[in-house]
């Protein structure tokens, strides 16, 4: 159960009700900004995510549809294709507390906000971003298309 460890003990997790373990939010601050627990998300295609404020490439309608789609899978094993600036990866972590989250991205580039988020939440054992794997796949794909 999200917010609980393997013994069912409540764990302190940002974005979760510490008693019920249910995800808190999203709380919409305006049409483009929402919060899950203490983590804020803003709809934008620019880069600049931090561990406290993620840039997410989804509008409100998409975020709500996405949450409806993923909520049935708390604690699941998740593969996300397309990290961009880490917004939906952080959202998945906060809402689902997946037992494993592997997120792939074709584009090169460091993801300091997501890395910091992973460090601060102490979830490096469960969450991996695989920018290089995405790039290797693209190289392989380009090769096989020649
Ligand atoms: C719409 S953006 C992702 C948005 C992100 N999930 C979010 O909600 O903020 C799509 C991303 O998918 C990446 N992408 C597209 N095809 C991909 C593939 N086959 N493997 C990995 N990443 C891919 C693109 O580089 C781009 O960053």
pLDDT tens-digit map of 37-93: 889 999 999 999 999 999 999 999 999 999 999 988 888 899 999 999 999 999 999
> In this structure, is residue 18 part of a structural domain?
no
| Residue 46 Cα to ligand 1 middle (Å) | 13
What's residue 22's pLDDT?
59
Write down the pTM of the prediction.
0.81
Pocket test for ligand 1, best of 83, 111, 131 (most atoms within 8 A of CB): 83
> In this structure, is residue 4 part of a structural domain?
no
> In this structure, is residue 74 part of a structural domain?
yes
Number of domains in the chain: 1
> In this structure, is residue 15 part of a structural domain?
no
**C-alpha to C-alpha distance for 140 and 108, rounded to whole angstroms:** 15
> In this structure, is residue 60 part of a structural domain?
yes
Instruction: Give the CATH number, domain containing residue 84.
Output: 3.40.50
> In this structure, is residue 41 part of a structural domain?
yes
Domain range holding 31? 27-145
Per-residue pLDDT reduced to its tens digit, 101-137:
988 888 877 889 999 999 898 888 888 776 544 444 4
- Distances in whole angstroms, Cα of residue 105 to Cα of each of 38, 90, 132: 26, 14, 8
Q: What is the rounded radius of gyration, in angstroms, for the C-alpha atoms of the chain? A: 15
> In this structure, is residue 34 part of a structural domain?
yes
> In this structure, is residue 7 part of a structural domain?
no
**C-alpha to C-alpha distance for 91 and 97, rounded to whole angstroms:** 9
What's residue 15's pLDDT?
59
């Amino acid at each position: 159960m999200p917010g609980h460890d393997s013994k069912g003990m409540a764990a302190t997790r940002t974005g979760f009700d510490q008693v019920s373990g249910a995800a808190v939010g999203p709380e919409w601050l305006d049409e483009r900004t929402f919060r899950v627990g203490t983590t804020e998300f803003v709809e934008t295609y620019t880069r600049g995510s931090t561990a406290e404020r993620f840039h997410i490439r989804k509008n409100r309608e998409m975020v709500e549809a996405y949450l409806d789609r993923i909520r049935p899978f708390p604690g699941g094993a998740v593969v996300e294709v397309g990290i961009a600036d880490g917004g939906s990866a952080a959202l998945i972590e906060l809402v689902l507390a997946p037992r494993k989250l592997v997120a792939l991205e074709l584009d090169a580039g460091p993801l300091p906000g997501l890395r910091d988020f992973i460090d601060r939440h102490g979830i490096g054992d469960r969450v991996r971003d695989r920018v290089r794997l995405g790039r290797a796949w693209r190289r392989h794909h380009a090769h096989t298309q020649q």
